[in-house]
Amino acid sequence: MSSDRRPEGAKKRQRSVRPEPADLKSAPAAADLQSVYDAAVLGAGASGLAASYSYLRRCIEGRGERSGPGKKLLIIDSNGAPGKKLSVTGNGRCNLLPESFDAKNYFGDAAAYPRLLSPGRLEQCVRVFEHELGVPLVAEDGRLYPLSNRAESVVTALYSAVRAMGAFFCLGSRVVGISKHGDDYELLTEGENGALSIKARSVIFAFGGRSYPEKGSDGSGFGLLGDLGVRVTPTYPSLTAVEVEKPIKAMDGVRAKAAVSAYVSGEKVCGFSGEVQFTSYGLSGVCVMQLSRYITRSVTEGRSVTVKVCLLPGDCAEKARNILFSENLPDVSVVDRLTGLVPKKTAVSFIKLAGIDPDARILSLPEGKKELLMKYMTGLEYLVKDLRGYDYAQITAGGVPVSEVDASTMELKRLGNCYICGEACNVDALCGGNNLFWAFSSGFAAGEAAYEARRGLHSS
């Protein structure tokens, strides 16, 4: 612990911590602050719950009993309830895994974790949810969701399992300091339970990244790791919406199927298809969020980035051209003809943008204006101003590099009995259940390794 981080009165110990939350009938076991915990898990999100689950499950498998040496595990979270972010994933449906593993969807140090990011590991995770936690999964467009279609099934399954296996909880407490004393760690917290000092023989860092801080992951964990001498690579918001220089105000609220592509200094870096949402500040929608992953660094570095939106992808453009320039179709208004090709709100905005009288007849429209309309429909070009920041980003790119981590156990190399998992690592991915796969896979690995290390100590 760095002494400047110690909150006033941190040395004062309190006996119990407010039991939370109320969605399971009995209160969870509250922290006993006189104890030295075998393991403290910093973060009750996807990866922290997964790590706690695998740690306790191994304890029980290994000893065939519900309590015993090595089993005392405490989960700490600044939120008053576990899995706050997990419960809003996938629009509340939780796309918890991809249907199949594709390494191309991953970034950062992902390739350095071949054991944890592989088709075999994905099968293992599916088995854990379906056969150990009682959450059947269903596939939809290459993504796996709980059969219930509700994220709360995933949160409750993990939370109730770790509670049933005897986990202790310290919720509503933010970890503000950490230090190592001999073989043990001391964590200082502040929050609803006052200033606490918690001792643990091993620590699993599962504090997430910086995205969606309203759900608890505010990046403070990176500072704690820094205090322990762990290096962290720069972080960027990813899977987020794009702010553009001249948004077309009249298109605010339009949703349309489109192809989007991004260019950095004139060179194409990626392209995606899907629904695009035009907003008052720029562009959103899943395909725009996917695209944001490829430009986040360039935008942060101030390079020139443009995004092109094509509302008539593939052979649709040729069909549209034939219709727009046809002399054989009835001579209706320009807006009516365009509404046959794109949503009416879009048609009206394009006519305004092109300076065309909305009542003008299509057959009397000059060729130049028709070309202009074709250009808007096939290649609306926007200069990117910025990306919507961490408050809106689904994921944080960057974080703890694999050079600091043992890639199969998730142990932090510089520190004994200290593990890392989830979004805090320099691993991120495109939408589709890929990010939660990493959170669960790395969390399970960290929990297993932490248990094995404690078991080794107890049996030696």
Chain contacts with ligand FAD (rule: CB under 6 A): 42-48, 76-79, 84-86, 88-90, 94-95, 174-175, 206-208, 211-212, 216-217, 220-221, 394-395, 422-423, 433-436, 439
Tokens of 21: 């939350």
Q: Identify residue 401 by its one-letter amino acid code.
A: P
Residues 252 and 279: beta-carbon distance below 8 Å: yes
Tokens of 410: 């998730």
CB of 436 to ligand FAD, least distance (A): 3
Q: Give the whole-angstrom CA distance, residue 86 versus residue 382.
A: 33
Nearer to ligand FAD by Cβ, of 189 and 346: the residue is 189
Closest CA to 167 of 77, 60, 75, 41: 75
Nearer to ligand FAD by Cβ, of 171 and 342: the residue is 171
Tokens of 432: 């589709």
Judged by phi (left if over 0) then psi (alpha if -120 to 50, else beta), residue 406 lies in: beta
Nearer to ligand FAD by Cβ, of 86 and 232: the residue is 86
| C-alpha angle 27-31-36 in degrees, rounded to nearest 5 | 150
DSSP 8-state secondary structure symbol assigned to residue 246: S
Max CA distance (Å), the chain: 91
CB of 431 to ligand FAD, least distance (A): 7
CB of 345 to ligand FAD, least distance (A): 26
DSSP 8-state secondary structure symbol assigned to residue 63: H
CB of 295 to ligand FAD, least distance (A): 19
Nearer to ligand FAD by Cβ, of 46 and 251: the residue is 46
CB of 420 to ligand FAD, least distance (A): 10
Nearer to ligand FAD by Cβ, of 39 and 76: the residue is 76
Q: Give the whole-angstrom CA distance, residue 212 versus residue 209.
A: 9
CB of 212 to ligand FAD, least distance (A): 4
Nearer to ligand FAD by Cβ, of 264 and 431: the residue is 431
Nearer to ligand FAD by Cβ, of 42 and 295: the residue is 42
For helices 316-324 and 367-379, angle between their N-to-C axes, nearest 10 degrees? 160
CB of 301 to ligand FAD, least distance (A): 24
